[in-house]
Amino acid sequence: MAEIPTPYTAARPVPKESVEDLRARIPGWGADLDPADRPSFPREQPGIETGAHWDFPERQEEKWPRERSLEHAFVTPVFGTSTPPKGASGAIRKHAYKYSEGRAAHWLLLIAADRVDATEHHLRSFGTLRPDNPITEAGVLSEFSRLGMSSRVGKKRADLSHQWIDPIIAGAPWALAGLGAVAALRAVRKHRET
């Protein structure tokens, strides 16, 4: 088998630079090279029979191009295929992988893609026979029928500090979408009248 340039093999990787070069370039490099300085050294001995056996597994087939981290040469041997990237959220996710995992832009784009994906699913639900219902799915009705309000009053619950903003966060997107739909209908009606 050819040498695989990733950390996904059982063999210990060979450093690209010599120990002397690394020690000269990086202060303190190799401080734990002496086995006497490492408490885990007895377990690292080659040849100790541990019962563990692992080689590079057979690669899973890619049915579409997967997002790849810049830190790895290729995607892991096994990966999830339940939700392929699609729509605007998929484009945002693909763009996020142009940045290193050490940059905030990578993670902020992935978070934004999740929000866009949720919005896409809400919009797609309106084309079905059972569209999303924010009143029942958010548990608003249970506040009145399952002693929701009485469980909040006089208790030391951790969520009391932010309960005032919860309806705004949960309801604002739906309210804005409703206002947008009303504005669109008015614009269409006004356009037809002229």
The Cα–Cα gap between 44 and 41 comes to: 5
What is the tens place of the pLDDT at every residue in 99-117? 988 899 999 999 999 999 9
Over the stretch 20-41, which tens digit does the pLDDT of each residue have? 888 888 888 887 777 777 766 6
pLDDT (0 to 100) of residue 1? 46
CA distance 120 to 139: 22
pLDDT at 73: 76
Looking at residue 33, its amino acid is L
Q: What is the per-residue pLDDT for 91?
A: 93
pLDDT of residue 143: 74
Q: Residue type at 49?
A: E
The pair phi, psi for residue 25, each rounded to 5°, is -85, -35
**Per-residue model confidence (pLDDT) at position 44:** 64
Q: How far is CA 142 from the centre of its chain?
A: 31
Low-confidence ranges of the chain (pLDDT < 70): 1-13, 39-46, 48
Those residues whose C-beta lies under 8 Å from the C-beta of residue 60, and which sit 6 or more positions away, are 77, 78, 79
- The per-residue pLDDT of the chain, averaged, comes to 80
E strand or H helix that includes residue 163: none
